[in-house]
Structure 1
Amino acid sequence: MTATGLPGVARVDTEALRGELAAAVHGEVRFDAGTRGAYATDGSNHRQVPLGVVVPYTVEAGVEAVRVCHEHGAPLLSRGGGTSLGGQATNTAVIIDWTKYCHALVSVDPQRRRCVVEPGIVLDALNAELAGHDLVFGPFPSTHSHCALGGMIGNNACGGSAQMYGKTVDNVRSLEILTYDGTRCWVGPITEAELEEVIAEGGRRGEIHRRLRGIRDRYRERIRRGYPDIPRRVSGYNLDALVHEDGLDPAELLVGSEGTLVTVLHAELELVPTVARKSMVVLGYEDVAAAADDVPRLLEHCTPLQLEALGGELVHFLREERMYLDSVALLPEGASWLFVQFGGDSAAEADEQVHRLLDGLGKSSQEADVAVSDDPEREQQMLKAREAGLGATADPPDMPESWPGWEDSAVPPERLGDYLRDLLALFAEFGYERPALYGHFGHGCVHVRIPFRLKSGPGVATFRSFVRRAADLVVSHGGSLSGEHGDGQARGELLVRMFGEELVRAFGEVKEVFDPDNRMNPGKVVAPYRVDEQLRLGPDYRPEHPNTYLGFPDDGGSFHQGVMRCVGIGNCRSTSGGVMCPSYRATGEEEHSTRGRARLLFEMMRGHADTPITDGWRSEAVKESLDLCLACKGCKSDCPTGVDMAMYKAEFLAQHYRNRVRPTSHYSLGWLPALAQGARLAPRLVNAALHTPGLAEVGKRVAGVTPEREVPRFAPRSFRQQWHGQARREPHPGDRDAVVVWPDTFTNHFEPRVARATVEVLENAGFRVAVPERPVCCGLTLISTGQLRSARRVLRRTLRVLRPWIEAGTPVVGMEPSCLAVFRSDIRELFPHDEDAERLRGQFLTVAEALTRYAPVDWRPPWYGAEAVVQPHCHQHAVLGFGADRTVLHEAGVNAEVLDSGCCGLAGNFGFERGHYDVSMACAEHALLPAVRRADPATMVLADGFSCRTQIAHGSDRTAVHLAEVLAGWIPRRPR
């Protein structure tokens, strides 16, 4: 690897650096192209390819990594969740990622309400561990499911709860720090007398305190005059920490310094009691400025937990994108809204605060522009519309791409309305139309993404001109450039406009105290790069736009545009809830998150000359990253911007293996439907061959199947053989009571009982059932292995077979969710302009959907009065929805615990492929298998997915059943 030249930094021999890090650091040292590509961007407009990444196993290993970097003069960047919107988490440096291993809650002192943590611990994980003490860490940003405390400290994170608990800086008591030159110590508040003692002790620690005292003494009055007295000032270094009444607080100074001064090794945090009960009122207004105008009046009457705002344009985007429609439906009348949430030790105490506020405002809960709730689930549902802001505004409908860059300015709450009107006028002047405003209005903090034209020279110049004007505007209102996200590169060069030359010079002196050689996250905050440098796009961005097999109809037919959906929010790095992203949850690897994969695909498009991914579709680094993608489609629903990595993976595999020999598993598993058709001629003989010791092991090895899996057994007779072997009068296309039952490969050849149960349920409900006479297939296994030409041929044949039923509008009922998802989603990618494909998308239904939509009103399922653990298939979660299933289970008297457990881990061919077994089982052990094992023996286990049922059988002693078997009355039940 060649040496790398860095602006303002000595040349670094990266090969020698990598070698010594690998030898000295107990951890993972990665300078490969894939890792560097995955870490090249954060959530901002900026991009810098790192020298390499170190993932230390322990904090001590991280200390050793800093030592080696110091010896080589290598720039250094500590990184948490990597969601920074200001460019703080991207740099041409060695990145230390603390999140995979250094995430311990070291100690808790419940009496003092304190705890000590390592820097990689995620906020939700911390609060889960603190739950037994009825304590939480107060600041709660929207990235709570995946942001690390180290990153929160670096960025001085806030969130809506800062209304009550303040910023991160207000909740940090002391820090264990490491300077670039190796000084390690704890710092925190220190009195004048203690300060004198520390200085007298000498050494590097004494020198740091002495020099900080000198900066304080020189700039004391300027600091007191130059810092706006507002609740959301996050910009600049916290020099006000140096002018306490008695002494100073280096820890307070270092919070929010964005990794430019020191490395944080441990943090002592102050905790707050959990809130027992919450209540909320939502107030409607004629526009967002009117809502802002009313904030001071509300604050006169209450001290809420949160005071959040949602603008009308954002709600318009949510409706257009069909996001969180249930949340939007709960909003009262209005064109903009304020959410005011209260907490108390009881529901009555929380409710009383709501009514006191309404009384003070002269309003009633019965008015059309007021909505009140003390139901936690309803409140959370209402807040989802507000929390959807970043995702909904990233790629708004009928609008250019929108970007951060002026997304978190803050002013005194009493001046917020006037500021918004001036800001809206500035947007109009620059041609940035339809800004969707929202934010933490109780603290005067405004969020918005702006359609900056960052792909052209004039557009970038206009962007730069705008942010300079916007900086002057917010300062004129007594505000801060940043009220939450920090400065980084997005606002670093603008700090002089807010603080003036003198205080910015003081920032430089603080940097000189801790990092005189400018190796800590260089180019951010102090001596910053320009806001229009190192852009993720920029006028020199020239990506390839290849012809593709898939149509990407929601992205203008562009694979590149689909990849660009990822804006770095990082929800795919969460560790619980939803489906996304099972492989990240199993490995903890950035490259195995949806975001990491999207970053690598972005680099693969070769829009920048310095991209580490230089071999395009043939890239082994991209292939390795995508190899552990389970194609679960969880990202399609759980990613706020709708990334569909399953489709990107299918396209990549198709291109990667074009005119090349594929892995044997692509043939054995990808062509499973055809092989199954052949096996039906002698299923017993095939089963004997597949399960004979010795022969089975050889067969698995040849087929690329993992040896730990037992191959499913073929049924003696397929469902279609059973069906067409009997004399039946099937309905004709167009008959009013006709339905077509779809004989998918898994049900047809392995579990025909599920199909028989489905027929029985439908016939009991008054339907007349038809089954295709000719073999049909959805092409799922071909799609998941990237054999897209073959998948198109298979689906064309299927469309021809179904054409009479399609033209008649006859419902087609599927039993296997993954096959259903092909017809509801994937078929549009393969045939974006085919009318039959579009019609079929609307006709393909689950068993539950067919019953709830078309069964006679007097139809009722058998009554069970039983408990059930239900594992929804990933594609049910992502594409089909589960509402109809809940309805019929309720009507059957089944009290269903629907697991929010992520993917089962088998995921079609994924869990059978060699090399995937450990990840597959780790996904299952995340939540599914423990829940199944905990279930009482009398509790039913339901799973509509063949993969899910197979995984449950493999990992437990339970047998899962399909919903159709329950509705057919085939499961033992209690009498009504």
Structure 2
Amino acid sequence: MSIASDQRGRDHQGQNQNQDQDQDDRLQRAEQLLKERVDGEVAFDAGTRAAYSTDASNFRQVPLGVVTPRTTDAAAEAVRVCHELGLPLVSRGGGTSLAGQCCNEAIVIDFTQHCHRLLEVDTENRTAWVEPGIVLDELNRQLADTGLRYGPEPSTHPNCTIGGMIGNNSCGATAQRTGKVVDNLVALDVMLHDGTRFTARKLDDDQYAAVATQGGRVAELHRELRRLRDDHGDLIRERYPDIPRRVSGYNLDSLLPEFGFDIPGFLVGSEATLVTVLRAQLTLVPVVKAKTLIVLGYPDIATAADAVPAIVEHQPVTLEGVDHYLVHDQQLKGMNGEALDELPEGTGFLLVQFGGEDTEESDRYARECIKDLEQQGKAPDVAFYDDPDKEHELWMVRESGLGATAHVPHRPDTFEGWEDSAVPIDRLGDYLRDVRKLFEEFGYASDTGPSLYGHFGQGCVHTRIPFDLTSAEGVATYRRFMESAADLCVAYGGSLSGEHGDGQSRGELLPKMFGEEVVDLFGQVKALFDPRDLMNPGKVIRPKNDTPPYGLDENLRLGGHWAPRQPLPLFFDYPEDDHSFTNAANRCVGVGKCRQLTHDGGSVMCPSYQATGEEQNATRGRARLLFEMLDGHGDGPIKDGWRSEEVKEALDLCLACKGCKSDCPANVDMATYKAEFLAHHFAGRLRPRADYATGYLPIAARAIEKARLAPAVNRAASITPLRKLASKAAGLEDRDPPEFAAKSLQRWWQERTDRPAPGKRGRVLLWPDTFTNYFHPHVGQAAVTVLEDAGWEVDIPTEPLCCGLTWISTGQLKTAKKQLRKTVAALAPHVRDGGFVVGLEPSCTTVFRSDAPDLLGDDDPDVRRLRDHTVTFAELLTQHTDGWEPPRLDPEQERKAVAQVHCHQHAVLGWDADTQLLEKAGVDCTRLESGCCGLAGNFGFTAGHGEVSEACAEQVLLPALREADDDTLVLADGFSCRTQIHQLDSGGKEGRHLAEVLAEAVRGRARS
């Protein structure tokens, strides 16, 4: 190297260092100003930035910082600060976008935590003003009493926000009836990057003149938009596809005279590249009073699509398509099992829903459609439903599409990219045939997919494709496919996006669809609103004469250069992720179901998010931090791997409830990831005191029992100063500790003298978990009563054994494995003989059924046998005890009950067997949609968790108990659930285990 070139290299390096220093200085100044001037939370820390580094797309860009304003005026002030400092910004709703709109190297404004109010409802004119962070389901819940709702409903309706829907021009299945967001909007309160703020409305000529003749920036915007419309109206009409699902590009067509110079309609779908939406006035529609669903089965999905035009003539409320590949994916993942059994014959299905004033009317519309199809010779196999519960079950087959096609066992991972095209409905069948040929041409087709499904009534097609996004060759093939797919869609007169927007996936492809002239108009619009390209820069379009938008193969979350750290050796096995923590950390697909604020359908996850509303406390946010911890790009915010304090902080409020293991569409298992992380994070160094206090609880309890110290310990704990001192010393919350039983279950068993003759059904082993054994032995005694009545010979191990749960939950995995191996060895003779192990505590039972094979490896036959022979109390009595039924609690009438189902039982064990037993015992039981109780083993006792623990309980559980009648039974199999109810329910209700309830009935029968 020459001296001159060496000097140039040093100069260039120096320039980069200076630029980096300037950027750091500017960001420090931004953080300072935002904290001074914005009413809200301002976070520039590595953990927060990592949590927002991607959305539900293939792309990743770490933001500069995150602002969560408490008011929309505070959001406006954040925009002003960004403009003063020349910083880019992007508005973010639920973060579920699939095209990369929600991630950028910018200041993120997240409206969801605070700006989520329904401001005003005008029932007469059917409109409502809302803030952008309000979740769609929550809005419709608040509107329920009016008989109105917001019409468009994407499948992410439990967690998508109105602001995000405006940004993407969202649709959903109901758009068949109501149209897109652009069709359901009155006005928008918006702000430009330069601070210009105005209310955008549809304007007639007089209204336009009144605005345009005023001075200032707002008048200039209106005049220039009017000029653009007048000069290029014919071009816009020519180049815009005349289909209901054209979402790609800017809505220049909304400016045309035939659409009334609709400024808010024009801004819809601009994906935060033009304005920040601060408020919105929405058009509402009447709630459909009655619905009837018909499911039509065809030989294949393309033939099903051929029938769509004939069905659309009957004006269904929704018309969706599902192919057999999607059905098979759901079967492999154990999703929607009952609904799948209800499908008619065929491999391509249409779900067609009709609405009416009553069921008779909706049924009539459905039958007329079926009759018409028969007359046209297009008679499919038909399944007919007008029961709302059945309809919901079938509908979940379609709504589960994204989650069902992600991380399918024994298949390559699939990705979005070409998940959103739309074509005219009369050409849909042929389009699907050609798309399938394209899959074959590029090597993406197999006998298992990809699946093709979507909003067929409007020609919109969804799919996830097994792109190889981890090699240079694979990324190059992905690019070629996308270009070819765009050409195919345009040849059919379609739109590159029919719902999800362009973002980064399709922004660079827009010239193929619209032509260079129209794309040049997009650039002019961008330059008019955002000349410096500071609003979601690089997405969709850049200002005129500037560089192209980001390419579809830039900023990939994976990519050919992605090289994550390989964190080995591991404690857990991760069999469903090819034994790779990297794959596990990459399992989240960003759909955001963990961000639900209401407990829809019994969803347990994610309790800490429901309590705090913070992204880092959602399963998705934590998964993003773990992904960034692996530092596959070398430029991430998390630099210190397993020792990361940011990751530890994000995981601190994870209750390890395992709700995500079942409720997450991608089956993220954050409880396992948390335990793995903590084991490595604290390896070779001291842990928090609470980990020792709660982790070693089984050993402490055993010592107290052996020394007969339970009464003395309980008395000491009842003395307030001693309790406070001991709690502080142990790193625990100042709350009453559970009382130790005077006699453990094991000791009661050893001393028992009234043992019956051996049962006729054989011998079962009742597992004496720590909580039943030392705190609630009466539950174990009740279980013995019932099991012996059912004809079983019961045995209880008397040696000191433990499943290791408390060490697992605190991440002390070496100790947990040691304890667990000892227990497996002790139980091996029993399970080798085919004997059952009956678990009473759901969390400990879950260890045998789920954690043990993952922690010890299921290659050990004794571990497998223990997994397969461990049953819940209810499972034993319903599935393995023929001829026995529990006596009724009250022979005269049904007994009312509510059930707090333990989150591990919800996620792993299931509650169907419990339901069957309760019905047979004459108990009318309502399962509370309460999620986790909030105590979650050691979580609620650990210092710093008390507020969140109680907030979780106050979501649903405690209010439901206060409203319940005094004589209502409260069922709670989990020790934590019973403890939380005992300590927090001011109404004095106590939770009871199912075994206690059934033992009461058995004893009552014996007395009578």
Q: TM-score range with shorter-chain normalisation? A: over 0.9
Are the structure 2 counterparts of residues 863 and 782 from structure 1 closer, same or farther at C-alpha, using a change threshold of 3 Å?
same
Residue 342 of structure 1 aligns to a residue whose secondary structure is strand
1:246, CA displacement in angstroms?
Answer: 7.3
- Deviation string 1:899-925 (CA, Å, 9 cap, x unpaired) is 111100000000000000000000000
Counterpart contact for 1:104–1:118, Cα < 8 Å: yes
1:193, CA displacement in angstroms?
Answer: 2.4
AA partner of residue 584 (structure 2):
G
Counterpart contact for 1:48–1:92, Cα < 8 Å: yes
1:245, CA displacement in angstroms?
Answer: 3.0
The answer to whether the aligner puts 1:460 opposite 2:465 as a matched pair is no
Counterpart contact for 2:409–2:576, Cα < 8 Å: no
The answer to whether the aligner puts 1:859 opposite 2:885 as a matched pair is yes
Please give the alpha-carbon distance, in whole angstroms, between the structure 1 residues aligned to 2:106 and 2:277: 17
Are the structure 2 counterparts of residues 705 and 730 from structure 1 closer, same or farther at C-alpha, using a change threshold of 3 Å?
farther
1:344, CA displacement in angstroms?
Answer: 1.0
Aligned residue pairs: how many?
969
The answer to whether the aligner puts 1:848 opposite 2:874 as a matched pair is yes
Please give the alpha-carbon distance, in whole angstroms, between the structure 2 residues aligned to 1:511 and 1:742: 67
AA partner of residue 451 (structure 1):
P
| Alignment-derived partner of residue 827 in structure 1 | 852
- Deviation string 1:175-226 (CA, Å, 9 cap, x unpaired) is 0111111111111110122212211112111111011011112211100101
Give 1:932-971 correspondences, 5 Å limit: 932-956=961-985, 957-969=988-1000
Identify the match of residue 421 of structure 2 among 406, 409, 432. Answer: 409
Counterpart contact for 2:760–2:791, Cα < 8 Å: no
The answer to whether the aligner puts 1:536 opposite 2:533 as a matched pair is no
In percent, how many aligned pairs have the same letter? 54
Are the structure 2 counterparts of residues 540 and 739 from structure 1 closer, same or farther at C-alpha, using a change threshold of 3 Å?
same
Are the structure 2 counterparts of residues 187 and 659 from structure 1 closer, same or farther at C-alpha, using a change threshold of 3 Å?
same
- Deviation string 1:300-331 (CA, Å, 9 cap, x unpaired) is 3x111110011111111111222221121111
Counterpart contact for 2:247–2:500, Cα < 8 Å: yes
| Alignment-derived partner of residue 585 in structure 2 | 563
Counterpart contact for 1:4–1:13, Cα < 8 Å: no
Please give the alpha-carbon distance, in whole angstroms, between the structure 2 residues aligned to 1:559 and 1:730: 50
The answer to whether the aligner puts 1:511 opposite 2:526 as a matched pair is yes
1:293, CA displacement in angstroms?
Answer: 1.0
Counterpart contact for 2:761–2:791, Cα < 8 Å: no
The answer to whether the aligner puts 1:878 opposite 2:893 as a matched pair is no
Please give the alpha-carbon distance, in whole angstroms, between the structure 2 residues aligned to 1:503 and 1:828: 59
Counterpart contact for 1:279–1:350, Cα < 8 Å: yes
- Deviation string 1:433-470 (CA, Å, 9 cap, x unpaired) is 22111101011000000111111111111111110110
The answer to whether the aligner puts 1:889 opposite 2:927 as a matched pair is no
| Alignment-derived partner of residue 930 in structure 2 | 901
1:696, CA displacement in angstroms?
Answer: 1.7
Counterpart contact for 1:48–1:534, Cα < 8 Å: yes
AA partner of residue 904 (structure 2):
H
Residue 1000 of structure 2 aligns to a residue whose secondary structure is coil
AA partner of residue 378 (structure 1):
K
The answer to whether the aligner puts 1:670 opposite 2:703 as a matched pair is no
Please give the alpha-carbon distance, in whole angstroms, between the structure 1 residues aligned to 2:258 and 2:455: 30
Residue 575 of structure 1 aligns to a residue whose secondary structure is coil
Are the structure 2 counterparts of residues 47 and 389 from structure 1 closer, same or farther at C-alpha, using a change threshold of 3 Å?
same
Are the structure 2 counterparts of residues 625 and 967 from structure 1 closer, same or farther at C-alpha, using a change threshold of 3 Å?
same
| Alignment-derived partner of residue 749 in structure 2 | 723
AA partner of residue 141 (structure 2):
A
AA partner of residue 122 (structure 1):
V
The answer to whether the aligner puts 1:481 opposite 2:502 as a matched pair is no
Counterpart contact for 2:293–2:351, Cα < 8 Å: yes
Counterpart contact for 1:288–1:336, Cα < 8 Å: yes
Give 1:663-742 correspondences, 5 Å limit: 663-680=688-705, 681=707, 682-707=709-734, 709-727=735-753, 736-742=761-767
Counterpart contact for 1:4–1:12, Cα < 8 Å: no
- Deviation string 1:639-679 (CA, Å, 9 cap, x unpaired) is 00100000000000000000110011111100101110001
Please give the alpha-carbon distance, in whole angstroms, between the structure 1 residues aligned to 2:466 and 2:205: 50
1:973, CA displacement in angstroms?
Answer: 8.4
| Alignment-derived partner of residue 274 in structure 1 | 287
Counterpart contact for 2:292–2:386, Cα < 8 Å: yes
Please give the alpha-carbon distance, in whole angstroms, between the structure 1 residues aligned to 2:575 and 2:479: 33
- Deviation string 1:51-80 (CA, Å, 9 cap, x unpaired) is 000010111100100000000000010000
The more displaced of 193-202 and 599-608 is 193-202
Please give the alpha-carbon distance, in whole angstroms, between the structure 2 residues aligned to 1:582 and 1:114: 33
| Alignment-derived partner of residue 535 in structure 2 | 520
Counterpart contact for 2:786–2:1002, Cα < 8 Å: no
Residue 591 of structure 2 aligns to a residue whose secondary structure is coil
TM-score by length of 2: 0.94
The answer to whether the aligner puts 1:336 opposite 2:348 as a matched pair is yes
Please give the alpha-carbon distance, in whole angstroms, between the structure 2 residues aligned to 1:228 and 1:5: 49
Please give the alpha-carbon distance, in whole angstroms, between the structure 2 residues aligned to 1:559 and 1:926: 33
1:961, CA displacement in angstroms?
Answer: 0.7
The answer to whether the aligner puts 1:195 opposite 2:216 as a matched pair is no
| Alignment-derived partner of residue 496 in structure 1 | 511
Counterpart contact for 1:391–1:641, Cα < 8 Å: yes
Q: CA RMSD in A?
A: 1.9
| Alignment-derived partner of residue 914 in structure 1 | 943
AA partner of residue 369 (structure 2):
L
Please give the alpha-carbon distance, in whole angstroms, between the structure 1 residues aligned to 2:561 and 2:295: 46
- Deviation string 1:470-512 (CA, Å, 9 cap, x unpaired) is 0010000000000000000000000000000000000011111
TM-score by length of 1: 0.97
Identify the match of residue 62 of structure 2 among 33, 49, 54. Answer: 49
| Alignment-derived partner of residue 464 in structure 2 | 449
AA partner of residue 559 (structure 1):
F
Identify the match of residue 372 of structure 2 among 337, 350, 360. Answer: 360
1:692, CA displacement in angstroms?
Answer: 2.4
Please give the alpha-carbon distance, in whole angstroms, between the structure 1 residues aligned to 2:789 and 2:1003: 18
| Alignment-derived partner of residue 113 in structure 2 | 100
Counterpart contact for 1:38–1:590, Cα < 8 Å: yes
Please give the alpha-carbon distance, in whole angstroms, between the structure 2 residues aligned to 1:363 and 1:793: 70
Counterpart contact for 1:862–1:969, Cα < 8 Å: no
| Alignment-derived partner of residue 71 in structure 1 | 84
- Deviation string 1:377-401 (CA, Å, 9 cap, x unpaired) is 1000011111111011111232211
Please give the alpha-carbon distance, in whole angstroms, between the structure 2 residues aligned to 1:897 and 1:269: 36
1:929, CA displacement in angstroms?
Answer: 0.4
Counterpart contact for 1:53–1:96, Cα < 8 Å: yes
1:368, CA displacement in angstroms?
Answer: 8.7
Give 1:718-867 correspondences, 5 Å limit: 718-727=744-753, 736-832=761-857, 833-864=859-890, 865-867=894-896
Are the structure 2 counterparts of residues 3 and 75 from structure 1 closer, same or farther at C-alpha, using a change threshold of 3 Å?
farther
Please give the alpha-carbon distance, in whole angstroms, between the structure 2 residues aligned to 1:403 and 1:512: 33
- Deviation string 1:75-123 (CA, Å, 9 cap, x unpaired) is 0100000011000000000000000000010100001000000010000
Counterpart contact for 2:887–2:1002, Cα < 8 Å: no
Identify the match of residue 115 of structure 1 among 128, 132, 136. Answer: 128
Counterpart contact for 1:863–1:891, Cα < 8 Å: no
Are the structure 2 counterparts of residues 521 and 971 from structure 1 closer, same or farther at C-alpha, using a change threshold of 3 Å?
farther
| Alignment-derived partner of residue 434 in structure 2 | 422
Residue 13 of structure 1 aligns to a residue whose secondary structure is helix
| Alignment-derived partner of residue 617 in structure 2 | 592
Residue 423 of structure 1 aligns to a residue whose secondary structure is helix
Are the structure 2 counterparts of residues 5 and 265 from structure 1 closer, same or farther at C-alpha, using a change threshold of 3 Å?
farther
1:363, CA displacement in angstroms?
Answer: 8.0
AA partner of residue 447 (structure 1):
H
Are the structure 2 counterparts of residues 970 and 703 from structure 1 closer, same or farther at C-alpha, using a change threshold of 3 Å?
farther
Please give the alpha-carbon distance, in whole angstroms, between the structure 2 residues aligned to 1:226 and 1:687: 79
Residue 515 of structure 2 aligns to a residue whose secondary structure is helix
Q: List runs of 5+ in structure 1 lacking aligned partners.
A: none
